[in-house]
Every structure is written in C-alpha cells, then in structure tokens.
Amino acid sequence: MDKVLLIIPAYNEEKNILRTYEEIVNYNKHSKEKYDVIVINDGSKDKTKEILEKNNIPHINLLQNLGIGGAVQTGYKFAFYNDYDIAVQFDGDGQHDINYVKNIITPIINKKCDLVIGSRYIDKETSSFKSTKARQIGINIISKFIKIATRKKIYDTTSGFRACNKKIIESFAKNYPVEYPEPITTTEILKQGYKIEEVPVNMKERLGGKSSIRAWKNFYYMINVCLSILMISIRRYKDGR
Amino acid sequence: MDVKLKISLFVFSIILFIITTSILKKGRIPIKYSLLWYFFAIIILLTSVFPNFFSWIASIVGFEVMSNLIIAIFIGLLIFLTMALTIMVAGQNKKTILLIQELSIVKKELEEKSKNK
C-alpha cells in the first residue's frame, strides 16, 4: 500500500490546528487507509507551537517564518527524505475536508496522473464554499493564462488541496516557488510534461483566523501570478521528465 | 566647464576613492565589489580632468550640456548596480530558505531521537 503523508502548513493557527488534527486521527481510526501527518509550523507567533508539542502532533518548527511556499516545501522535503509515495497538501484552518483525501489520491494510486488538484469549481454541487465573486474572477483570469501557457484548462487554479506522486515530491523538494506556489507550480508541472487532473472536493468556510490572501493585496497578487505564468510559458523545459 | 565644478568633482572622486580603500582595508567587502566603486571614482576623476573629451561625447550622444551626460552615466551605473544587488539578494534569500528548512528538519529528527532514549 502507498505511504501517504498529509502536509499541513500552519501559521498562527492555534484556534484550528488541534481540531484539524483530531479530525484526521478520527478518520484514520475508522478507515482502511492510514494517513501520516506532518504539520509545518511556519514560525507562528501565537500558541501553535505549544499546542503541537502538548498534543504530540508530528510537526516541524521552522526557525524563521518562510511564508507559505517555504513552509509547504519543507513538507515535501520531509516526504522525500522519508520515502513517501504520495504527499497531500492539506490546510490547517479547517477549510479542507479529510473525507475527500481519498478522492484526490485515487487517480495517483491508479497511476492516471502525477498531480491532482482538489477543485471547488469542476462540479458545482460538491462544494458549499465557493469564495467571493471577486476572487472567482481572479481565479478565472489565472485559469485563462494557464490555458494559454500550457493548452490545458485548470479550473481551480489557487486550490491548496493537492496530492502528488513520488516524482513530483522529488521535484517540489528541490524547487518550489516561495510566493504564489499553487498556480505557478501547476503551470511548471504541465510545461514539464506531467499530467494533472482535477477532482471535485468540498471546501468549508474557514473556521477562524485570516486567509493568507488579503483583499488589498489581490491586485498585486494577480499581476505577480500572471507575469510568472507568462515567464514560465516562454521558458524552455527539457521534454519528457 | 566651470572651474568650481571641476574642483568639486575632483574632490568627490578622491573622497570616494579613500572611502572604498578604507572599507577594503578593514576587510568588510571582498575585492570584486570594490572594483565597481573604484570604477565610479575613476569616471568622476576623468570628467574633472578631461572635460573636453566628455563634452565631445555629450554632443555626439545628443546631450546639450555635459553635466547632463555625467548625471545620465551615473543613473545608468546605479540602475545596473541595483539590479546586480537585487539578483544577489534573491540568491542569498534562496540559500537562507534552504538552510532554515534543512536545519528545521534535522532539529526535528534530533529531538525525536533524544525523546526515544
């Protein structure tokens, strides 16, 4: 059976992290598959570290705050060093639903693709939470850019609920963007000739805390992401892997 | 060119030269970074010693006044320097991130080992 690791980046998640972990433990008790967990504490300033230690949650404390990309990459490095077959990015804020992990890793277990994106938009019924109108427009624009760069339509370009196989774990462990990692890695991976699939998932509204993408930063975010995708599209990649 | 401007430029280039040399003497920057500052100092010195040559260049390139050419050269050099620094900072940042990640992972493994003892 494939070894599966859930990578949970956490920055100031004292309100949610324990609940998220308990949900996973509960799920493991009742199901055939068992998922390992690693929480990456990205230099949180609140009690996240204490909570992780007190409850014996497997975690890595980053010595400095690195931002979402640097934190998630640490998880991929951990997965790579410990020889995991599948790594799943899972949010610590309660947005992601543990019951859907099975759905997003199935295409990888069946070797149908290399990376799976848990998508809010591919099947309109599944997800109760669809995020704001403005953000949906932003996600759509990014989607168009990725289509131009790679000729593949990705619907939920900013979803942080993703699973990948060993080859991608290795690639992410070696190279992962510090900022705006989701749309950028999606484009890079497609450009390198890997296969990506989108699977419908349910996402809940955040339980507490703030999203890492703040409203006033959206415009700056869009320019950065779109420019990055354009740059990747003119970059040359070796064919094959 | 006004004699006052000549003298100012000359003095300025000497000061820049002295500052660069003293930083270098204390070993606070490697030689390769000092070269650019010496280059700056030399260009300033040349403009004060051979103003005619520079006003000739200014007329060729299309500057009406020589002092504008000097300013333009410096802005160009500074832009180049800033770009080089941006690239350096980005490279340093990448290395720092790598160090923090690897160190944090090793630290976790060490802590686990000492717990199991």
d(CA A38, CA A75): 7
Residue A166's CB: how many other CB atoms inside 10 A? Answer: 18
Do B105 and A60 count as a contact with CB atoms less than 8 A apart? yes
User: Which residue of B lies nearest to A71 if distances are taken between CA atoms?
Assistant: B101
What are the φ and ψ backbone dihedral angles of B7, each rounded to 5 degrees?
Answer: -65, -45
| pLDDT tens digits, A178-203 | 888 999 999 999 999 999 999 999 88
Name the residue ranges covered by the structural domains of chain A: 4-234
The tokens for A129 are: 């939470």
B28 close contact with A: CB closer than 8 A: no
Do A66 and B108 count as a contact with CB atoms less than 8 A apart? no
Do B104 and A63 count as a contact with CB atoms less than 8 A apart? yes
Residue A240 has pLDDT above 50, yes or no: no
Q: What is the dihedral of CA A211, A118, A22, A91, to 10 degrees?
A: -30
d(CA B86, CA B72): 21
User: Which residue of A lies nearest to B109 if distances are taken between CA atoms?
Assistant: A60
Q: Give the three-state DSSP class for A197.
A: strand
User: The whole model's pTM is what?
Assistant: 0.84
Q: What is the mean pLDDT of each run of 10 residues along chain B (117 residues)?
A: 85 93 89 86 88 86 84 88 92 95 95 83
Q: What is the share, in percent, of chain A residues with pLDDT greater than 70? A: 90
In CATH, the architecture of A4-234 is Alpha-Beta Complex (3.90)
| pLDDT tens digits, A16-50 | 999 999 999 999 999 888 999 999 999 999 999 99
| pLDDT tens digits, A79-110 | 999 999 999 999 988 889 999 999 999 999 99
Q: What is the dihedral of CA A184, A190, A191, A193, to 10 degrees?
A: 150
Q: Give the three-state DSSP class for A182.
A: helix
Which is it for the CA torsion A14, A64, A69, A21, positive or negative? negative
Question: Do residues A19 and A92 make contact, with C-beta atoms less than 8 angstroms apart?
Answer: no
Of A88, A91, A70, nearest to A79 by C-alpha is A88
d(CA A221, CA A144): 16
ipTM at complex level: 0.83
Q: What does DSSP say about strands A86-89 and A59-61: parallel, antiparallel, or unpaired?
A: unpaired
